[in-house]
Amino acid sequence: MANERISVIKVRETLMVTMPADPDDSTITALQEEVLQAMARYEASGLILDISAVETMDSFFARTVVETTRMVELMGGKTVIAGMRPSVAITATQLGFTFGNTKTALDVDYALDLLGDRHPRRPGHGR
Amino acid sequence: MVVESYGEVDILDESHIVTVRKTIREAASRIGFGVTDVTRIVTAGSELARNAFHYAGRGVMRWQEVENGQSIGIELVFEDHGPGIANLEQALEPGYSTSGGLGMGLPGTKRLMDEMDIRSRVGEGTTVTVRKWRRK
Ligand SMILES: Nc1ncnc2c1ncn2[C@@H]1O[C@H](COP(=O)(O)OP(=O)(O)OP(=O)(O)O)[C@@H](O)[C@H]1O
Ligand SMILES: [Mg+2]
């Protein structure tokens, strides 16, 4: 199914990953592998996870997204989750899910700003 | 065209969790739920479908339109013949999981829906019924 594909593109230092509307579990699991390998391959410093098409995020999907951001962090990258629909945000919160310290943005545009702001290309400690 | 007000989806492999979500989305939208409620109902259904598949290996989801005075709604029944749940109270506690999950499925589903009823017998299986209502 064409709409079940994860799309991955790189713009400058940032990897942009777009999730399909209703991915099955194996597509969600593939997200982790694909993203981590692409981060390394393209030497990207930031990741934008565009979930604006996503209509349903259950606990499995949400957990995989948060896990992926942690793994990217381990590799030295920063993640911003972009475009979460209001209905998805309400539902995930009611389900009991917290996205912890994961950064979020209204859309990809803001996410790029956020990565630019928060990712000075020099060594230093966070916070 | 006859519009069905009930239906059934077998959960035999992982891809059927997606079928369950699509079926519920269509049914709930047609019953007239708004986008946020549709998302709540579909998400709850996804949790229960995954539980049936994960813990019992297979199961079935039945849905129907329901009516009660000034309200109409949707009822989802998930039935499996898996191991059952020994301690229901414990299973409903947020964070309780026997599979290294977040233990969010059952307590979360309860919050997302208006009614939830679980019947389970160890060694026989589990039936979870949930309902969501809206005013006519
Ligand atoms: N259909 C079922 N058959 C047997 N046991 C079940 C079933 N559904 C739930 N359980 C039991 O109840 C526990 C809690 O379920 P719940 O869905 O809340 O969390 P989880 O599946 O462990 O994790 P999560 O859903 O957050 O990924 C499960 O760990 C399992 O032991
Ligand atoms: Mg579960």
- Distance CA(A48)–CA(A112), nearest Å, equals 8
Residue B129 lies in a domain: yes
CA distances from A2 to A23, A83, B136 (A): 11, 21, 38
Integer-rounded Cα radius of gyration of chain B: 14
User: Is residue A124 scored above 80 in pLDDT?
Assistant: no
User: What is the DSSP code string of A47-60?
Assistant: EEEE-TT-----HH
- Domain assignment present for residue B39? The answer is yes
SS3 readout for chain B: CCCCCEEEEEECCCHHHHHHHHHHHHHHHHHCCCHHHHHHHHHHHHHHHHHHHHHHCCEEEEEEEEEECCEEEEEEEEEECCCCCCCHHHHCCCCCCCCCCCCCHHHHHHHHCCEEEEEEECCCEEEEEEEEEEEC
Q: Decide if A96 and B107 are in contact by the 8 Å CB cutoff.
A: yes
Look at residue A69 in the predicted model and tell me its pLDDT. 94
Q: Domain for residue B114, yes or no?
A: yes
Residues of A within 8 A of B104 (CB-CB) are: 59, 95-97
Work out the minimum CA distance from A22 to partner chain B, whole angstroms: 7
Confidence of residue B3 (pLDDT cuts 50, 70, 90): low
The pTM score is 0.93
Residue B1 lies in a domain: no
**How far does A18 lie from chain B, in Å, by closest CA?**
19
The parent domain of residue B119 ranges over: 6-133
Question: Cα A90 to chain center, whole Å?
Answer: 18
pLDDT tens-digit series, residues B12-23: 999 999 999 999
Return d(Cα A6, Cα A46) in angstroms, integer.
Answer: 17
Q: What is the average pLDDT across A57-73?
A: 94
Report the range of poorest mean pLDDT among A34-43, B29-38, B79-88, B113-122.
A34-43
The lowest-confidence range among A72-86, B1-15, B91-105 is: B1-15
Is residue B80 within 6 Å of ligand 1 at its C-beta? yes
- Asked if residue A76 has pLDDT above 60, the reply is yes
Give me the helix-helix angle, B35-51 and B15-31, nearest 10°: 150
pLDDT at A127: 43
pLDDT of A99 > 90? The answer is no
Structural domain contains residue B77: yes
Using the beta-carbon criterion (under 8 Å), do A96 and B104 form an inter-chain contact? yes
What share of chain B has pLDDT > 90, as a percent? 94
Interface with B, mutate which of A19, A51, A58, A84 (most B CBs under 10 A): A58
What does the mean pLDDT of chain B come to?
96
Question: B115: which strand partners?
Answer: B131
CATH number corresponding to A2-115: 3.30.750.24
Q: Which residue of B has its CA nearest to A87?
A: B36
Q: pLDDT per residue over A6-35, tens digit each?
A: 899 998 899 999 999 999 999 999 989 999
Task: Identify the closest residue of chain B to A23 by CA–CA distance.
Answer: B18
All structural domains of chain A with their residue ranges: 2-115
CATH code at position B51 = 3.30.565.10
A54 has a pLDDT exceeding 60: yes
* Residue B89 within any structural domain of the chain: yes
Chain B: closest CA distance from residue A65 (Å): 14
Which tens digit of pLDDT belongs to each residue from B42-80?
999 999 999 999 999 999 999 999 999 999 999 999 999
